Chain A
Amino acid sequence: MMIINLMGLLLIALIVWWFWLYKPSNVVDASAENITIVVNNGVYQPSRIKVALGKKTTLQFLRKDASSCAATVLFPDFDISEELPLEATKSVLLPAMSAGEYLFHCPMKMYTGTLVVE
């Protein structure tokens, strides 16, 4: 029983680390390559995107998930919301940003991504 309890606690610790404490390091640079963010299976891919400081940026989205949640992408900090057509790329123009991290997500926040401005 002791072992099972310890395993349970370990599992909890793993959940906390994996979902909350872990900081992903793989940031894709939007300026360096012509990237398309694929919206499918509950994730934006890539989901951490580096954006140049103080410059307007265009992001391409390609939605493959038919669920209605995925159909809209919101950039709440910039008051931007765009409908994403299914199986077609859609450009989203972002204003020049100051340094920091900005979230973008679907209306229900099941899909989430981060813009890293530096």
Chain B
Amino acid sequence: MSKLSENTIQTASQELIIDGASCASCVGKIEKALRAVAGVESAAMNFALRTAQVTGDVEADSLIKAVESIGYNAKSTNEASDDELLDEKEIADEKYYSSLLKQMWLALGLGIPLMIYSLAGGPMTVDTTLERIVWLFIGMLCLGIMYFAGKHFYLGAWKSFINHSANMDTLIALGTGTAWIYSMIVVLFPLALPEMARHVYFEATAMIIGLINLGLALEVKARGRTSEAIKRLLGLQAKTARVVRVIDGKEQEIDIAIADVSLNDIVRVRPGEKISVDGIVVQGCTSIDESMLTGEPMPVEKSANDEVVAGTLNKSGSILFKATRVGKDTALAHIINMVKRAQNSKPPIGRLADVISGYFVPVIMITAIVSALAWLNFGPDPALAFAVVSATTVLIIACPCALGLATPMSVMVGVGKAAEAGVLIRNGEALQSASKITAMVLDKTGTITAGAPSITDIIITDKAYSENDLLTLAASIESGSEHPLAEAIVDSALEQGIALESVSDFHAITGQGVQATIKGQQLLFGNQKLMLSNKVALNDSVAKAQQLADEAKTPMYLAIDKKLAAIIAVSDAIKEDSVSAIKRLQANGIRVVMLTGDNSATAHAVAKKVGINEVFADVMPQDKANKVAELQAQGEIVGMTGDGINDAPALALANVGFAIGTGTDVAIESADITLMRGSLHGLADAIAISKATLRNIKQNLFGAFIYNVAGVPFAAGVLYPFFGLLLNPVIAGAAMAFSSLTVVSNANRLRLFKPKEH
């Protein structure tokens, strides 16, 4: 890091969290210490929040030092960067993991020997005074373990109880608490209970606490892996940038922290370095590997005026570029944000589990009471012991966590996986809908084709004009139009060094073409409809145009003063892999439909080349949405793919709207799913990943439901009358601990999923 960034001064207001301030009198001391720091204008501490607000030109570090010097701890709450947050999270997770392991060993240290003793046939009953003394001692040890290894369960249970809510802690606390209290009653007042019921369950309490801590610890580890995709994206961010700055009147290139790069800075990137912020190349040319963002393996050539994107890798040349988007505005930052948001959103399939988990814990508590009552009323002797065991086991085996984790874990991994393949999924709903698509509508221009049309033919029908004259007129009139084909004509003319004429009375007629006046000549340029409505005689030109259209070219008529002068044909090359991608979609049973504003002959010619049988041609932009609605009326779940701008209404109406990005300039807010590379394989990938994720969620939900639906009655003892089977509370504890781990591990399996290529 350079001197510049190290000396960055925090201006305005900042907040510190103060630790160790135990009395109101500390406040004055801390405020005084803060005000004494050079540069501080004001300092005020909020004792209730344990925070201090400081204003002035001062570094956070010197404030922290000042607080520490008088015996308190402080830290800054200023927004940390994403990867700092992630690092912090990892450190915190690691700490939490090792504390859980410690607690586990503590609990198992008592639980395992007791368990072995009981399995080996050692009496777990209280009959003699010596036994009472020994068990009392063990009971006290157990209480210690409940405090040191299980405090968080009891505290959590109590806090939620007084807030009228209940969670997993409630169940564990009640289950282990019941077993311990019953055992203590046996030890302290054995005579109050029938002889057969004088059984202690200290081993259950200790083992359950140990096993559940183990389960939590393993879950922390497994969860860490689910955020790998975000970690990878964050890893793409460069840490520093080399910018050109004027120092002492001389231009110099210096390295500064990425956060210090400002708009319009000129940034140098050498071969092998990452692009630090988004920008436009001003000097040099190179090839850039954008695969990390787009999934597109081929490097892209860049020279002056081309866009470069943060996070991509400069391969061959050294370039200078001007920063156009920095900090939180870069495409990469947007992508990271979107992936994070999507990872935490829930598809509708998870809603049922949400509703259930809201009622789950109290229902289990009631089940435990009903089960205990049933044993007391109808159970064999010792009914009381059976009642306690069954109630404890019901409380322990029920696992709301597995249910709650089932959906979010899979979504987290699935959305991350998709991002790796260059597919940005907006939210859980889009993910679920994408897995159900039955029909896919593809826009032709820019979706199936490259979207960069060029002039292929100029057929002159009025010999009074040269090809050059005609191109000049066509390009001049189209220079005012926004149609993609217009751009092709203007570009062709400019490439040939043609100077454009000034245009007056310009008029665009939607779905037909344009009309304008150039040097007193009235021009019409567009399709057959435009010519017919202006009574321009076409004669045999129609056949010539038809022939061009059959070759997948788009013919346009140019009429000068209502007399046909030329047919100009433009063609848009089909993307190389459109054919194989469309085949992939069709192989998945998806009905593929092409939608275009282009004429029917051209549209059919393109459709034939790529293997699409259904074509809606000559569709006005505003009618595209109607076509989507038509398909929906036929019962199809419709995916619509377009460039995200012209097709907005259709994209919005479709069950899932896919926007095709060109990798660099992604309109990621405009669609349900954004394909970062131009290839239609992204569609098949997106659908495959959605299907795999939904399958994974269903497995998880099914597993969690079955586990609870089967486990709870078993624990209550419904099998006892038939087979004499009653679950041991320790086994229930193990099952519960591992049920949520199973869900997380199953979700992690998704990381290995690979969409089948081509």
Contacts and interface: CB of A to CB of B under 8 A. Distances in A.
B345 interface: yes
B75 A88 contact: yes
Contacts of B96: 66-68
Contacts of B346: 76
Given A81-B341, A110-B400, A86 B156 contact: no
Contact of A4 (B166, B343, B370, B376): B376
Interface residues of A, number: 45
Contact of A15 (B93, B155, B216, B365): B365
Contacts of A74: 344-345
A81 B373 contact: no
Nearest to B407: A107
Contact of B89 (A42, A62, A79, A86): A86
A109 interface: yes
Nearest to A106: B404
Contacts of A42: 156-157, 159-160, 165, 167, 169
B432 interface: no
Nearest to A47: B163
A112 interface: yes
Interface string B74-91: 010100100001001100
Contacts of A81: 340-341, 343-345
Contact of B358 (A11, A15, A62, A109): A109
Given A42-B156, A42-B159, A8 B401 contact: no
Interface in B353-371: 354, 357-359, 361-362, 365-366, 369-370
A68 B223 contact: yes
Interface in A23-81: 24, 34, 36, 40-43, 45, 47, 62, 66-68, 71-72, 74, 76, 79-81
A100 B220 CA distance: 36
B362 A15 contact: yes
A110 B15 CA distance: 30
A118 interface: no
Given A67-B96, A81-B344, A86-B92, A19 B376 contact: no
Nearest to A73: B344
A71 B404 contact: no
A112 B362 contact: no
Contacts of A71: 89
B731 interface: no
B40 to A, nearest CB: 20
B532 to A, nearest CB: 50
B156 A109 contact: no
Given A41-B159, A108-B404, A5 B373 contact: yes
Nearest to B401: A108
Given A24-B164, A88-B75, A15 B366 contact: yes
Interface string B159-179: 111011111110000000000
Contacts of A86: 88-89, 92
A15 B363 CA distance: 9
Contact of A18 (B164, B376, B404): B164
Contacts of A43: 156, 159-160, 163, 165
Nearest to B354: A109
Given A8-B372, A89-B17, A108-B405, A19 B362 contact: yes
A79 B427 contact: yes
B404 A5 contact: no
A8 B391 CA distance: 12
A96 interface: no
A88 B17 contact: yes
B357 A109 contact: yes
A51 to B, nearest CB: 19
A12 interface: yes
Contacts of A36: 49, 51
30 contacts: A1-B376, A4-B373, A8-B369, A19-B165, A19-B361, A19-B362, A20-B362, A22-B164, A24-B163, A41-B155, A41-B159, A42-B160, A43-B160, A43-B165, A45-B163, A47-B165, A66-B96, A66-B99, A67-B220, A71-B89, A79-B345, A80-B341, A81-B344, A89-B17, A89-B49, A108-B357, A109-B354, A109-B404, A110-B404, A112-B165
Given A36-B49, A41-B152, A89-B15, 20 more contacts: A5-B373, A15-B366, A16-B362, A20-B362, A24-B164, A40-B159, A45-B163, A47-B165, A67-B220, A71-B89, A76-B346, A79-B341, A86-B89, A90-B77, A107-B408, A108-B404, A109-B357, A109-B404, A110-B404, A112-B165
Interface of B: 15, 17, 46, 49, 51, 75, 77, 80, 85, 88-89, 92-93, 95-96, 99, 152, 155-161, 163-169, 216, 219-220, 223, 340-341, 343-346, 354, 357-359, 361-362, 365-366, 369-370, 372-373, 376-377, 400-401, 404-405, 408, 427
